[in-house]
Amino acid sequence: MASIEKRGSNSFRLVVEIGYDANGKRLRKYKTIRIEDHKLLKTKRKLQEYLSDQLYQFKMEVHSGEYIEPEKLTFESFINKWKEKKLYQKSGKPYSLTTSDVYWRHLKNHILPVFGHMRIERIKSLHIVDFLDDLSKDGARKDGKPGGLGERTILDIFKLLQVVFKTAAEEWKIIKIDPMKGLPLPVNEKKEMNYFEADEAAQCIKILYEEVDIKWRLYFLAAMIGGLRRGEGLALEWHLDVDWDAGGFKINRSLSKTIQGKPHVKDPKSKSSKRFVQMPDWYMNELSLYYHMWKREKEKLNDAWEGGDHQYIFHSGLGKPYYFTTPTTKWNRITQKYKIKNIRLHDLRHTMVALLMEAGESISAIQRRAGHASARTTSDIYGHVTDEMKKSAANHFNKFDPKHLRNTNSEIGNFRPQVVPKVKSNT
């Protein structure tokens, strides 16, 4: 049986009976709902329809075992439900595997150990503030290294808590007050981007040609010259992505994760990330040489080939693409072994943008090559690079400082530019 009880001017209690206990006592589940829409409260028929619908949904939740009484709901229990429902982003798309992994790691390592046992409605804003403050202190890291978590990680944890409590308060009505509301975002100062200067890039390319095999050389050059992200390079296939006539790569996919030994290939980071990246002739010539080497190796493998119908350009030897973090490990070893400037693999992509800016290429052209959503995105990300270029450009005019210009009069105010005679034509 199920029924509705009026409790106040705008509150109603839903009651669902679920049988009897061992002593013959009737068991009931209760849920209180509050209606803030005054127009609905004044319309008897619509109000009854709404309450009946809420009662039906409550009854289904109880009988399916999905309903958890708020007074017994711990934060960890709520999180388990949250994961179960496979929540979506604001755009309606499910979270990517990468984002999901980051979320669950933060929950497991930092959030659940502190809040997991607490009843969710008892978690207050002050608890959140103290928790975030502790994350920046020594001992917060789970890798054993000294110091607290980085600013970016703390900001990510803050945003995750925002999503969780907003769901509890606004969508599922589990709690009345969202403890995250009104809390300021943690400080996250933007760090200057790292990249190779022109001479450093030249030195790096020299080492790649002298010390690194052709496969990895082409992979890292695709990042430094083509601006390819790590996963975009790993997902490249000969028959799908190499345009020999146009001389470059078609970027349509990205290998973001490796799950149980299998590559997880998806669309690239954003819609604008799908693009064509033209490469220099010398690169395409060497890519052609590598292609013939690749084909001969595949033929030798015969039945040992593990790539199936795929033709991954950069594979681990038997046709399967590399584990998604392998390029990062390989790059770190190269920089350490050959004493190259210590920049991240992703900074090779930043190097491409910085070098193109230095060469005077237009922002819109760089934006399309990098796969940014707009030229403004490129300007915002690389603003410090353009600022340095502006300063450098202004410095070119220091030689015209009037104090350093020689003239016949001692006073600068009397300076007059020399008249250069016109070159007479021979005709």
Do 250 and 289 belong to one domain? Answer: yes
CA dist., res. 204 & res. 195, Å (int): 12
Do 85 and 42 belong to one domain? Answer: no
Do 152 and 239 belong to one domain? Answer: no
- Pairing mode of beta strands 275-278, 242-243: unpaired
Tens digits of residue pLDDT in 296-340: 999 999 999 999 999 999 999 999 999 999 999 999 999 999 999
Per-residue confidence (pLDDT) for residue 389, from 0 to 100: 60
Q: Name the nearest CA neighbour of 224 among 345, 75, 133, 93.
A: 345
- How much of the chain, in percent, has pLDDT values that exceed 70? 84
pLDDT at 51 over 80: yes
pTM: 0.66
- Pairing mode of beta strands 2-6, 242-243: unpaired
Tens digits of residue pLDDT in 189-202: 766 678 998 899 99
Do 205 and 340 belong to one domain? Answer: yes
Per-residue confidence (pLDDT) for residue 65, from 0 to 100: 67
Q: Does any domain span residue 9?
A: yes
pLDDT at 235 over 90: yes
Per-residue confidence (pLDDT) for residue 86, from 0 to 100: 55
Tens digits of residue pLDDT in 5-21: 888 888 898 888 888 87
Residue of higher predicted confidence among 269 and 140: 140
Do 108 and 84 belong to one domain? Answer: yes
Q: Give me the domain span that covers residue 13.
A: 2-64
Q: Name the nearest CA neighbour of 65 among 18, 8, 10.
A: 18
**Average pLDDT of the chain, as a whole number:** 85
CATH of the domain at 126: 1.10.150
Q: Does any domain span residue 50?
A: yes
**Residue 401, exposed/middle/buried by CB under 10 A (0-12, 13-18, 19+)?**
exposed
pLDDT at 264 over 70: yes
At residue 278, φ and ψ (nearest 5 deg) are -80, 135
**All residues at 6 or more sequence positions from 142 whose CB lies less than 8 Å from its CB, including other chains:** 109, 110
CATH of the domain at 293: 1.10.443.10
Do 29 and 103 belong to one domain? Answer: no
Q: Name the nearest CA neighbour of 351 among 331, 337, 336, 333.
A: 331
Angle between helices 151-166 and 125-135 (to 10 degrees): 160
Do 248 and 364 belong to one domain? Answer: yes
Q: What's the structural domain count of the chain?
A: 3
Per-residue confidence (pLDDT) for residue 411, from 0 to 100: 47
Q: Does any domain span residue 262?
A: yes
